[in-house]
Structure 1
């Protein structure tokens, strides 16, 4: 009888998944109290990611949505509404602001719990649809990113869930794949890679539906906020570019090649050039895989990997997308790697997903902000870890299995077989 590997053990471990769920619930519960009434935890109010969501939504509710898209007025609104300030500029497209306006009708603790738990449930449901019995191992591989989103209220679950839902429908040749793709207009830079799949596969009906959904969302938000919202949004994007070049973002939490290069001393122009190379190479590899007819599960994993390599604005909470890619290939990773290689691969996923959080905990700052000019942007090392992870994944997936190399029948049933 074949020996059970470490990958198999954790891959199907329901107790491990239960522990992850319990830890996640604890983190979300503490975060909800921290957002609503931090004094109950003996802590002062510190603005974290979901605070920005709620403040932008409240400004929209009060007819002051323009103020959310200008850093100076956004900081003033933070002080007015919470009594504290932080550098948290608002650069999300108006459709996402409209969604946050709906949540802002609730107290922030309730709004946070609703958003975090609902989007997490959606994400885990999508992972379950892809990974099947390997959900525990898939979720465990990106556990730091899961915990981070549950602690800060970011939208990593929602975006990754939409990407996963698109890939599932696209795999099954369903036109409705255009629905989740169109909804990604709320964070369009993470939709570039999966959009490339549509173009390369010439799935025009999917593209039409995605375009219609995106156009509808843009039209609704324009009808609610007026045409001027787009000049405000343009100004916010311009401000963000200037602040990024000045190093005012927490670079240690950013997963882009730009952040890594800039944090290590490269000038903004040089760092952006390296980021362009990262985007071109990752999308080029994805396009080549499409042309060569790579198996869909590997193509989907490549699309997820490319998604986090395109934009200079990627954050560690976006790495939930890696979980979707891992769900497609986890059985193959287990099949083709020994214990040492699997542990190395698993450790790399944790390092990539958890580097920013570890730095933030060490610096006592779990938000997505830094104080202007205080030198706390930190050193970003996530991008090199990601590219090392991608290389190791490639090595594992292209490694012949022992039974394949010997030209014999497998010694045990495929791990991808249904339970």
Structure 2
């Protein structure tokens, strides 16, 4: 894929490396403080004491069942719910379904080898550290700006102990190595089998851009990891996984599902009162638009960095199951795009891009704080993030398309002048 030279379009752009550096340091200090406080809270917790259930608790419970040899039971609603109630002592905000593929079940198994507090710290601190290093390698001089815009996303992912830093790192490494280290890109893309719905657009990019080595390596990782899980857990693990996936899909279409932390258009339509069937149609339409944006970027011969950034943003818009703790992948897209967006966009467009990125995480963080104050009682709220992401993708395409067109016109004018 050829590189479109756009250095002259819109001038050199503002220098944010110094302007935002102090703010980024405060964000990172804040993350470190919250990480220590969360670890201390989990480490001091005693069985029988009441506390809110974290997403990390689900990972820890599943890890324990791996070593006890009965992990298949976590894929069944009643049994998994009972395990959570037994662990926390009450049934507030339990997670009804474990729908992760067996590969992720195997991945979390080592978590049970340590007490819950130490396990949380190593998992979250380790994946956060890798994620930040990946962002720094991608974002160049815009790293501080990216950190500030992602501050709510980083906090909400840390609060829950979720795997967003891990998936963000995998997508980030895939994008970082796609053009020059295809095998490394394929390894990280293949590892996204732990959350395959979040890798669709990046996988489509690899196919359309004919990155065959990356595609074949990713397929090999999926196949070999599936064989390994079958050998370790038995063939029954797959029927249990499929049963849980089916039951979860049925639950997603019910009136009992809470959508306010979902980032999909499906969630927006459901909270607006549309039926599940119409909401699924709307989600399918958005998925087609998102994948079309990836194809369009390749067709217009955008630089690989732009096309990969668009793919990272678009991949969050494919599945109705995407949540706010998956937004670290958005950070990868913005890290790829911001060095050029800050230069090509007008002042108003830059403000809109920054605001949409920040608000996409802030809404979820607000919901976490609300639930904490309300002691886990979930009162349905409208879902908003899906609309923010659609608007952000449209604005990104608008700025980049204008920049590419202007660059081509300038190049043509220079060639004519020389002629």
Shared fold (TM-score, shorter chain, > 0.5): yes
Residues 11 and 62 from structure 1, CA distance in 2 versus in 1: closer, same or farther, beyond 3 angstroms?
Answer: farther
Matched residue, 1:75 = 81
Matched residue, 1:87 = 94
CA positional deviation for 1:152: 1.0
Deviation larger for 24-33 or 266-275: 24-33
CA positional deviation for 1:316: 0.5
CA positional deviation for 1:291: 2.3
Matched residue, 1:264 = 272
Matched residue, 2:16 = 9
The alignment's C-alpha RMSD in Å is 2.7
Distance 1:112 1:63 in 2: 22
Residues 376 and 7 from structure 1, CA distance in 2 versus in 1: closer, same or farther, beyond 3 angstroms?
Answer: farther
Deviation larger for 168-177 or 391-400: 391-400
Residues 255 and 130 from structure 1, CA distance in 2 versus in 1: closer, same or farther, beyond 3 angstroms?
Answer: same
Deviation string, structure 1 residues 251-307 (Cα, Å, up to 9, x no partner): 110001111111111111110111111111111221122222111111011101111
Contact in 1 for aligned 2:131/2:168 (Cα 8 Å): yes
Distance 1:240 1:152 in 2: 21
Distance 1:400 1:32 in 2: 46
CA positional deviation for 1:249: 3.7
Contact in 2 for aligned 1:222/1:229 (Cα 8 Å): yes
Matched residue, 1:295 = 303
Deviation string, structure 1 residues 364-392 (Cα, Å, up to 9, x no partner): 3799xx87xxx734211111111112222
Distance 1:348 1:323 in 2: 12
What does residue range 38-57 of structure 1 map to in structure 2 within 5 Å?
38=45, 44-57=50-63
Give the 3-state SS of the residue equivalent to 2:225 in structure 1. helix
Distance 2:303 2:23 in 1: 30
Distance 1:366 1:112 in 2: 24
What does residue range 268-283 of structure 1 map to in structure 2 within 5 Å?
268-283=276-291
Deviation larger for 110-119 or 10-19: 10-19
Alignment match of 1:216 (pick from 211, 217, 224): 224
Matched residue, 1:385 = 388
Higher RCO (Cα < 8 Å, 6 or more apart): 2
Q: How many residues align?
A: 397
Matched residue, 1:413 = none
What residue ranges of structure 2 are gaps of 5+ in the alignment? 1-10, 412-419
Residues 12 and 193 from structure 1, CA distance in 2 versus in 1: closer, same or farther, beyond 3 angstroms?
Answer: farther
Distance 1:145 1:47 in 2: 19
CA positional deviation for 1:93: 0.6
Q: Under a length normalisation based on structure 2, what TM-score does the superposition of the two structures give?
A: 0.88
Alignment match of 1:166 (pick from 174, 191, 209): 174
Residues 209 and 366 from structure 1, CA distance in 2 versus in 1: closer, same or farther, beyond 3 angstroms?
Answer: farther
Deviation string, structure 1 residues 49-107 (Cα, Å, up to 9, x no partner): 10111111112221121221111101111122232333312111111111211111111
Matched residue, 1:65 = 71
Residues 340 and 87 from structure 1, CA distance in 2 versus in 1: closer, same or farther, beyond 3 angstroms?
Answer: same
Please tell me whether residue 179 in structure 1 is matched to residue 182 in structure 2: no
